[in-house]
């Protein structure tokens, strides 16, 4: 294999185990924009419903978006939102579960990324200075490597 070649990891010999991954991200916005989202007053519609739907769809389509991800049979995806008034942001959390030979980390990270981008898209008419930050894996379970829990959680 040359320096610029890529290849998908062969998981043929791995055992199917129950797996789970949780990821989080934040989208920071002005206090006024945060209030509009909370009060469901964004003209495009319900921001959190649209972002939740987009996140779930994104988790299911991860192998189409990231070239070396394996297609996985997902049992469940959640995308949840918490308003963090003090920081003027929305914390987005996704959990992805299923049985497989490889983990669901990329699906959970993709879900929160696309959910955050959907919030941005729906709110940009009011706040072009929004920022998306702190995209990270919080926890993963299953597989040979066992459980991973991010240090600050």
Spatial CA neighbour of 41 closest among 141, 110, 126? 126
- Would you call 121 a catalytic residue per the annotation? yes
Measured N-to-C along each axis, helices 105-123 and 31-38 cross at an angle, to the nearest 10 degrees, of 100
Question: Exactly one of 5, 32, 87, 121 is catalytic; which is it?
Answer: 121
Residue 98 backbone dihedrals phi, psi, to 5 degrees: 170, 180
Largest CA distance in the chain: 55
Alpha-carbon distance of 108 to 148, in angstroms, equals 14
Q: Determine contact, residues 117/53, Cβ cutoff 8 Å.
A: no
Q: Which residues are catalytic?
A: 121
């Amino acid at each position: 294999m040359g320096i610029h070649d890529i290849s998908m990891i062969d998981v043929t010999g791995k055992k199917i185990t129950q797996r789970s991954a949780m990821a989080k991200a934040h989208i920071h916005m002005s206090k006024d924009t945060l209030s509009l989202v909370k009060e469901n007053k964004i003209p495009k519609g319900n921001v959190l419903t649209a972002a939740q739907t987009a996140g779930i769809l994104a988790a299911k389509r991860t192998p189409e978006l990231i070239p070396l991800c394996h297609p996985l049979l997902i049992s469940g995806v959640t995308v949840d939102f918490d308003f963090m008034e003090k920081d003027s942001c929305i914390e987005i959390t996704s959990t992805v579960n299923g049985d497989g030979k490889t983990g669901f980390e990329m699906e959970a990270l993709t879900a929160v990324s696309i959910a955050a981008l959907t919030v941005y898209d729906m709110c940009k008419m009011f706040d072009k200075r929004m920022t998306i930050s702190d995209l990270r894996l919080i926890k993963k379970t299953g597989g040979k490597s066992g459980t991973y829990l991010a240090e600050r959680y």
